Amino acid sequence: MQRSFLSRLTGLAAWFAALLIAFPIIWMLVTAFKTERAAIAVPPLLIFKPVLGSFAAATAQTGYLSFALNSIIVSLGATLFAVIIAFPAAYAMAFRPGRHTQGLLIWMLSTKMLPPVGALVPVYLIYRDVGLLDTRTGLIILNMLMNLPLVIWMLFSFFKDIPAAILEAALVDGVNTRQQMQHLLLPLAAPGIASTALLSIILAWNESFWSINLTAAHAGTLAAFITRFSQPEGLFWAKLSAASVLAVAPVLLFGSLTQRHLVRGLTFGAVK
């Protein structure tokens, strides 16, 4: 009795915490179905007649689809190149470590501590001069570079979980490095590579700083799309919410579908 009461209390607390964390998303979802007038009503309306007008307005004038397409291309492209570069890098670090491998890993991670705004001006000027401003290529390169440390780290730790003797056995058996990567490492680390790629896609999708600052009409992602609704003429809460829902819905859906993979990937090796 005592125990079931306690566990029920814990459950209740967990629900409360979850609701608190999810509240902004839920409120955004609710607001998206309101009219502009209902959206700014004080006290906030909990019961209202849902309308789809904000969605229509948010997509009609703005070319939502082209922003969404940019988001897809940029996040997939950045992830693809990051994994292609990180795979051999992580291989070298996991199976042929040198004297500087550990330091290199730490250094790579430390680059994530630099505030992006510190690099904005130089990157902007370089991009302007080489013609990468407002291009998908430019965004793919930036996102790829930003995710690279994390992708290398994750692949590195997945590779570390593969017994080195398996690759050594293949090596002595005359199997060369490329064949080892293709026929042993790739299939053995496939679940790890998948969860690494998922995380990289989500990070690139959610990236807003560079997307907002380096793109205009042509290569803007959904992050840039949202900012269009907080323009000088004032905030339009319902339209902004509708736009935000449209921007986060794909990745939210994607995330929940692949949740099991993600959690497994992030906790891999932690319990062994």
Partner 1 sequence: MATLELRGVRKTYGTGEVVKGVDLSIKDREFVVFVGPSGCGKSTLLRMIAGLEEISAGELLIDGVRANEIPPDERELAMVFQSYALYPHMTVAGNMGFALKMAGKPKAEIAAKVAQAARILQLEALLDRRPKMLSGGQRQRVAIGRAIVRNPKCFLFDEPLSNLDAALRVQMRTEIAKLHQELEATMVYVTHDQVEAMTMADRIVVLNGGRVEQVGAPLELYRNPASKFVAGFIGSPRMNMLEVAVAGHDGAAVRLTLPGGESLAVPARDALVKTGARVTLGLRPESLNLADDGALRGKVEVVEHLGAEMLVHVRTPQDDLLIIKAPDEARIHPNQTVGIGINPARSCLFGEDGLALILRVDALA
Name the one range near partner 1 by CB under 8 A: 10-18, 82-90, 170-178, 192-200: 170-178
Q: How far is the CB of 95 from partner 1 (least distance, A)?
A: 11
Asked whether position 112 contacts partner 1 by CB under 8 A, the answer is no
Tell me the number of residues near partner 1 by CB under 8 A: 17
Asked whether position 173 contacts partner 1 by CB under 8 A, the answer is yes
CA–CA gap between residue 265 and residue 194 (Å, rounded)? 8
Report cis status (omega within 30 of 0) of the bond before 250.
no
Q: How far is the CB of 231 from partner 1 (least distance, A)?
A: 54
238-to-181, 212, 228 alpha-carbon distances in Å: 51, 21, 13
Q: How far is the CB of 178 from partner 1 (least distance, A)?
A: 10
CA–CA gap between residue 61 and residue 53 (Å, rounded)? 13
Q: Which of 7, 176, 256, 259 binds partner 1 (CB under 8 A)?
A: 176
Query: Any residues with CB less than 8 A from the CB of 184 and at least 6 apart, and which?
Result: 166, 167, 170, 175
Asked whether position 174 contacts partner 1 by CB under 8 A, the answer is yes
3-state secondary structure of 235: strand
Contact (CB, 8 A) for 193 and 83: yes
**Between 174 and 232, CB nearer to partner 1:** 174
Residue with tokens 């730790």: 157
Asked whether position 179 contacts partner 1 by CB under 8 A, the answer is yes
Q: How far is the CB of 163 from partner 1 (least distance, A)?
A: 6
**Between 58 and 189, CB nearer to partner 1:** 189
CA–CA gap between residue 10 and residue 16 (Å, rounded)? 10
Q: Taking CB under 8 A as the criterion, which residues in 182-211 touch partner 1?
A: 183-184, 187-188
Q: How far is the CB of 186 from partner 1 (least distance, A)?
A: 10
Contact (CB, 8 A) for 155 and 189: yes
Query: DSSP E strands: which ranges in the chain?
Result: 230-231, 234-235
**Between 218 and 264, CB nearer to partner 1:** 264
Q: How far is the CB of 183 from partner 1 (least distance, A)?
A: 7
**Between 160 and 228, CB nearer to partner 1:** 160
Q: Which of 21, 46, 65, 172 binds partner 1 (CB under 8 A)?
A: 172
3-state secondary structure of 264: helix
User: Which tokens hold the place of 91?
Assistant: 């291989």
Q: Which of 28, 80, 85, 175 binds partner 1 (CB under 8 A)?
A: 175
Contact (CB, 8 A) for 52 and 32: no
Asked whether position 105 contacts partner 1 by CB under 8 A, the answer is no
Asked whether position 120 contacts partner 1 by CB under 8 A, the answer is no
Contact (CB, 8 A) for 64 and 249: no
Q: Taking CB under 8 A as the criterion, which residues in 128-167 touch partner 1?
A: 163, 165-166
Single-letter amino acid code for the residue at 115 = P
Q: Which residues bind partner 1 (CB under 8 A)?
A: 163, 165-166, 168-176, 179, 183-184, 187-188
